[in-house]
């Protein structure tokens, strides 16, 4: 989150920075899902075991010419709201993403929880396997990183298998340099920083095992790709996107001139 100080002093923020375009309920929900990093990361705890799916509302105040973000949800016919802070990015998508990150940083969300259907799925080994393979793509952190890397003049392939016969898909692939980049979500991959990963209190055994399995798969993926001659770079979703892009560019460009370490790089 940013203070917004110094921006839009002489005129209101442009509409593209705050006003939504989605006209349908499904479109608005999809927009919020992308900004939050997934639908399961939009829930607030209401107490008594109840939860509600929340959304970010952006408002412009004429006197200050600043964009304020509010977290809203529905509870028994009412629509509570919590002020999150000010945002000052150039687009609505970026401002929504910044607001959701602030919501996570403030600890306003509950841990991801399964719906009744998902809970019944998770009770069987077969469905656990399905959920294990259900990986999202084109998340906000991924798109931001791609944009930053593209601005550095590098080109890449998106959501590709570095090794055709190995059923592992990287978020970014630099084929010539043989560099595979993975953008890991802090919750689903068990970020070591306590402020970015809060263990679930509901169905804790199931979620603990799921995240442990994800981590084991991450390590195996890195090992297999390294053994195949690839350099693996892993980026946490909370990392500074520009610093991560610069780190990746250094490895990719260096690979064109000299051998690089074939071990996972964080």
* Integer Cα distance of 87 and 215 in angstroms: 33
Residue 166 lies in a domain: yes
| Same domain, yes or no: 92 and 134 | no
Residue 8 lies in a domain: no
* Dihedral pair phi/psi, residue 84, rounded to 5°: -95, -40
Residue 127 lies in a domain: yes
- Alpha helices of 111-240 — where are they, by DSSP H? 116-122, 125-132, 140-151, 204-227
Most confident range, picked from 22-36, 102-116, 202-216, 217-231: 217-231
Most confident range, picked from 24-33, 39-48, 222-231: 222-231
| Same domain, yes or no: 101 and 143 | no
Q: What is the largest CA-CA distance in the chain?
A: 63
* Dihedral pair phi/psi, residue 6, rounded to 5°: 95, -10
| Same domain, yes or no: 69 and 140 | no
| Beta-carbon contacts of residue 84 (< 8 Å; ≥ 6 apart) | 1, 56, 68, 69, 70, 71, 99, 102, 103, 106, 108
Q: How much is the pLDDT for 158?
A: 92
Closest C-alpha to 154, from 173, 137, 139:
173
Average the pLDDT over each of 57-61, 90-94, 164-168, 192-196 and give the range with the smallest value: 192-196
| Same domain, yes or no: 207 and 77 | no
| Same domain, yes or no: 90 and 126 | no
Of the residues 105, 138, 170, which one is the last residue of a structural domain? 105
Model confidence pTM above 0.75: no
Q: For 165-184, what is each residue's pLDDT tens digit?
A: 998 999 999 999 999 999 99
Of the residues 84, 105, 126, which one is the last residue of a structural domain? 105
Q: How much is the pLDDT for 121?
A: 34
| Same domain, yes or no: 152 and 175 | yes
Number of domains in the chain: 2
Residue 129 lies in a domain: yes
DSSP structure class, residue 14: P
Percent of the chain clearing pLDDT 90 (strictly above): 42
| Same domain, yes or no: 44 and 175 | no
| Same domain, yes or no: 74 and 181 | no
Residue 6 lies in a domain: no
Task: Determine the structural domain holding residue 43 and report its residue range.
Answer: 15-105
| Same domain, yes or no: 140 and 217 | yes
Q: How much is the pLDDT for 104?
A: 86
| Same domain, yes or no: 137 and 219 | yes
| Same domain, yes or no: 93 and 145 | no
| Same domain, yes or no: 42 and 160 | no
Closest C-alpha to 198, from 66, 110, 70, 134:
110
Of the residues 60, 77, 105, which one is the last residue of a structural domain? 105
Residue 62 lies in a domain: yes
Q: How much is the pLDDT for 40?
A: 80
Residue 73 lies in a domain: yes
Closest C-alpha to 97, from 22, 26, 17, 158:
17
Write the CATH number for 248.
3.40.960.10
Residue 260 lies in a domain: no
């Amino acid at each position: 989150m940013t203070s917004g100080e110094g921006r839009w002093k002489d005129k209101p923020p442009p509409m593209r920075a705050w006003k939504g375009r989605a006209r349908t309920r499904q479109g608005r929900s999809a927009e919020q899902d992308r900004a939050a990093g997934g639908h399961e990361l939009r829930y607030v705890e209401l107490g008594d075991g109840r939860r509600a799916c929340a959304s970010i509302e952006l408002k412009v105040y004429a006197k200050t010419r600043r964009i304020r973000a509010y977290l809203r949800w529905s509870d028994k016919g009412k629509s509570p709201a919590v002020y999150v802070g000010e945002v000052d990015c150039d687009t609505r998508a970026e401002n929504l993403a910044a607001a959701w990150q602030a919501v996570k940083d403030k600890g306003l969300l509950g841990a991801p929880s399964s719906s009744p259907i998902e809970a019944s799925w998770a009770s069987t080994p077969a469905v656990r396997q399905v959920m294990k393979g259900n990986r999202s793509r084109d998340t906000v952190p991924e798109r931001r990183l791609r944009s930053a890397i593209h601005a550095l003049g590098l080109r890449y392939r998106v959501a590709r298998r570095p090794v055709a016969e190995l059923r592992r898909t990287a978020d970014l692939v630099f084929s010539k340099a043989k560099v595979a980049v993975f953008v890991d979500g802090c919750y689903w991959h068990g970020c070591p920083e306590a402020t970015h990963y809060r263990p679930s209190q509901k169905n804790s055994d199931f979620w603990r095992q799921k995240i442990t399995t994800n981590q084991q798969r991450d390590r195996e993926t890195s090992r297999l790709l390294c053994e195949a001659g690839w350099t693996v770079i892993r980026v946490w979703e909370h990392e500074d996107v520009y610093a991560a892009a610069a780190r990746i560019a250094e490895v990719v460009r260096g690979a064109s001139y000299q051998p690089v370490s074939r071990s996972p790089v964080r």
